[in-house]
Amino acid sequence: MGLVIDPATGELLEIKDADGNVIPSDEVTPDDIIASAGFDETDNIVIDRMLTIWTNFAKTGNPSIPGELDYPLYESGPQMYVELSADAEVKDGRLADEFPEE
């Protein structure tokens, strides 16, 4: 109980308060975990955007975010995808350089 693994490193994450003191596992809150993992405003933006995309897709079948992101429709030609970071960006499907076949 109280073990939290950092998904970025796979290492055990020490949960600390704002002063850097380790918090006993029975006193840890979700906010402590997020702060100790180094989440910042960009992470919050990406999380909110991803939740909105999935919610819109579940409600309407269209994951687009009005005024922010026009999600590409599926086509049999070059595949388009959305890269989520501080900004959501539609990119073409030429992933061969990024994910080469072995």
Bridging pattern class, strands 80-84 and 88-92: antiparallel
Instruction: Say what the pLDDT of residue 74 is.
Output: 75
**By C-alpha distance, which of 41, 52, 39, 40 is closest to 82?**
52
Sketch the domain layout of the chain as residue ranges.
1-39, 41-92
Q: Would you put residue 2 in left (φ > 0), alpha (ψ -120 to 50) or beta?
A: left
pLDDT tens for each residue of 13-48: 778 777 778 877 777 777 777 777 777 888 888 889
pTM of the model: 0.57
pLDDT bucket at 99, cuts 50 / 70 / 90:
low
pLDDT-derived band at 5 (thresholds 50, 70, 90) equals confident
**pLDDT above 90: percentage of residues in the chain:** 10
